[in-house]
Amino acid sequence: MSGVPTTFTSGPVRVRVPATSANLGPGFDALGLALALHDDVAAEVTSPGVTVTVTGQGAGELPADDRHLVVRAMRAAFDALGGQPPGLAVECVNRIPQARGLGSSSAAIVAGVLLARALVNEGEQRLDDAGALRLAAEIEGHPDNVAPCLLGGFTLAWTEPAGARAVSLPVADGVRPTVFVPEERGLTATARAALPATVPHADAAFTAGRAALLVHALTTDPALLLPATVDRLHQDYRAPGMPGTAALVSALRAADVAAVVSGAGPTVLALMELPEGFEPGTDWQVWQLATDVHGARVTRGRLGHAERDPVAAGRKS
Ligand SMILES: Nc1ncnc2c1ncn2[C@@H]1O[C@H](COP(=O)(O)OP(=O)(O)OP(=O)(O)O)[C@@H](O)[C@H]1O
Ligand SMILES: N[C@@H](CCO)C(=O)O
């Protein structure tokens, strides 16, 4: 399509993007799970200028101009699609807690890339699904959240010289995700700075074996989730920066529940039913979430009444 001028569709488009939990223990920067907790974002091409409205998570905190992450991702995608629109109006209804380890930044990036594509005539010919994944992963810096956000389900992502690739696998019955979300935030960039440049070969070998076992446990045999979620690459190094998270992971695992730090934390993810009466303490919001099997979904039109409600339906706390 290079050389053919970019033209834009008229009217708004909207996208529903899921929260995601990356790493899942031993799958650092590779494995991820899409969860049924969503942001809804709509966008429209306008006359010159950028407006952004935010309801729910991040309202009053996030920038309302070109610095907003959805708009930054849209700008990068419009460049890849061949040209920028005159102006943009973006409406965000956010339910994914931000800077907690639930993939909020990837959800914003995926939303921006898919909205930009949907606003360009013949957008899917200019940027196919594989290209959208590569671009979103490049903006995020690693593919383990953007992959499940785009594809849904349990994803394995990896990076080749040309960019990120991913596959989505079905999740076995019996996997029961619960997230424990604290009030305090933790930026991924800070958690990544806590990691060493190198790790002992024995730890790398140990973790590679558990990551392979985790693919089997999550897709076929959840009875193996406890041994399959042991990691030696990141959680211990990050524990001093999130002691409450580390203590809750330990308490859950001591109760035979496969629990890990969700993404870069500080949220905790359990993958199995909790024991009767398990009490995490008052510092946590506890939500049982289904797996999102669809991934990001784009439709035409404005956000509807239900999509404008920033409180997630069916969330158990
Ligand atoms: N919906 C959003 N709209 C705009 N900016 C967002 C949105 N969600 C997140 N961000 C930006 O991304 C930052 C959080 O990104 P970060 O990667 O640190 O955490 P996360 O994505 O929530 O967690 P993790 O990557 O560990 O799963 C926020 O502080 C904000 O700047
Ligand atoms: N793999 C990433 C996920 C969070 O973005 C990390 O742990 O830093």
pLDDT tens sequence across 244-292: 999 999 999 999 999 999 999 999 999 999 999 999 988 999 999 999 9
Helix/strand/coil percent split, the chain, to 5: 35, 25, 40
* CATH numeric code, 178-288: 3.30.70.890
Please give the pLDDT value at position 313.
54
Tell me where in the chain the CATH 3.30.70.890 domain(s) lie. Answer: 178-288
In the prediction, which pLDDT does 53 show?
98
For residue 34, give every residue at least 6 positions away whose Cβ sits within 8 Å of its Cβ, in sequence order, or none: 18, 19, 20, 148, 149, 151, 152, 153, 154, 155, 291, 292, 293, 295
Reduce the secondary structure of 83-127 to three states and give it as a string.
Answer: CCCCEEEEEEEECCCCCCCCCHHHHHHHHHHHHHHHCECCHHHHC
Please tell me the predicted confidence (pLDDT) of residue 49.
Answer: 97
**pLDDT, mean of residues 85-113:** 98
Tokens 């429209």 correspond to 44
Q: What residue ranges line ligand 1, CB within 6 angstroms?
A: 22, 39, 58, 62, 68-70, 92, 94, 98-106, 108, 145, 187-188, 263-264
Between 5 and 304, whose confidence is greater? 304
The answer to whether residue 113 scores a pLDDT higher than 50 is: yes
pLDDT beyond 60 at 315: no
Which atom of ligand 1 is nearest to 187's Cα?
A: 18
Confidence of residue 311 (pLDDT cuts 50, 70, 90): confident
pTM for this entry: 0.97
Out of 33, 98, 188, mutate this one to test ligand 2's pocket (max ligand atoms within 8 Å of CB): namely 188
From the list 153, 156, 157, the residue with the least C-alpha distance to 175 is 153
Quick one: pLDDT band at residue 316, thresholds 50, 70, 90?
very low
142-195 confidence digits (pLDDT tens):
999 999 999 999 999 999 999 999 999 999 999 999 999 999 999 999 999 999
pLDDT per residue as tens digits for the range 7-41: 999 999 999 999 999 999 999 999 999 999 999 99
- Residues facing 291 on adjacent strands: 35
Element (H, E) at 219: helix 201-219
What b/e readout covers 165-183, taking b as 16+ CB neighbours within 10 angstroms? bbebeebbeebbbbbbbbe
Q: Report how far residue 121's alpha carbon sits from residue 296's, in angstroms, rounded to the nearest whole number.
A: 20
The CATH class of the 13-169+292-308 domain is alpha beta
Strands 87-94 and 49-56 turn out to be parallel
The annotation status of 86 as a binding-site residue, yes or no, is no
Domain with CATH 3.30.230.10 in the chain: 13-169+292-308
Whole-complex ipTM: 0.98
**For the chain, counts of helices (H) and of strands (E):** 10, 11
Structure tokens belonging to residue 70:
């959805």
- Alpha carbon nearest to ligand 2 atom 1, residue: 29
Three-state DSSP state, 225: helix
pLDDT digits (tens, 9 = 90+) for 202-228: 999 999 999 999 999 999 999 999 999
Report residue 317's pLDDT band, with 50, 70 and 90 as the boundaries: very low
